[in-house]
Structure 1
């Protein structure tokens, strides 16, 4: 098992743009979850880029020392639950029209926001996603 610094550096060498910390990625996941709850206003490319913070956490959890995992798991689980509540599981059908989905264990890629607004909402609706449209009122 590795320290947080070692994991950040290892994942950077594997292709991440920086040696992130767990706090960096938990904060990024929290920001995305909040944006999805409000109605994600950016486009499909930004959304898929933003989802990658959750991938980082998934990869890091396999490498990190147990005490770090135990410290952060309750916060991540709470954010995961909020994300599930703010999204619809369509097994990745809508998002898969625009992005090659990773394996099924990365469940967050198989969901789309309930509130379909802005460019992301338009794109996902064109791929068959169903959700609320606050722009249509």
Structure 2
């Protein structure tokens, strides 16, 4: 878990990660560890930066659940664990914000997503068929990029 070899994690640090995993595993489709959730968030951000396939546009918010997991896990982690991972999370969040645009305020995410700013954004770039229907909240329409 530690990117810096000079920082030793304590039993309390490891226990905080285990508590988060246990508490959140029943609410999320995957029993992520902290590292897995961060890695999944990185993969989601990379996909969004490259352009979301219009075929999967309606599943877009489901892909953000790894960020939801991190949001809920963060307060359960020790200060040391958060400090070690904060710069990685902040960097991924910044990349996500740069690769997305804000939804119109009256149509932002509701319910379980309230207060989770990443659900109030949509991809700036999409790939796929230009005629494919996109969610109305993705306005103005994203730019199309070529598929590889």
* TM-score normalised by L of structure 2: 0.74
Max Rg structure: 2
In terms of fraction of residues, the more helix-rich structure is 1
- Contact 1:95/1:110 (8 A) holds in 2: yes
Structure 2 equivalent of residue 132 of structure 1 = 143
Structure 2 equivalent of residue 115 of structure 1 = 125
Q: 2:34 aligns with which of 22, 25, 32?
A: 22
* TM-score normalised by L of structure 1: 0.80
- Contact 2:44/2:64 (8 A) holds in 1: yes
Q: 1:39 aligns with which of 48, 51, 56?
A: 51
Structure 1 unaligned spans of 5+? none
User: CA 1:123–1:68 in 2, change beyond 3 Å: closer, same or farther?
Assistant: farther
Structure 1 equivalent of residue 17 of structure 2 = 4
- Contact 2:45/2:95 (8 A) holds in 1: yes
Structure 2 unaligned spans of 5+? 1-11
Structure 2 equivalent of residue 61 of structure 1 = 74
* 2:94 corresponds to 1:84: no
Across the aligned residues of Structure 1 and Structure 2, the Cα RMSD in angstroms comes to 2.7
Q: Deviations over 1:29-80 (max 9, x none)?
A: 0000000000012513432211010000000011111111111110000000
- 1:92 Cα deviation from its structure 2 partner: 6.0
User: CA 1:122–1:101 in 2, change beyond 3 Å: closer, same or farther?
Assistant: farther
In terms of fraction of residues, the more strand-rich structure is 2
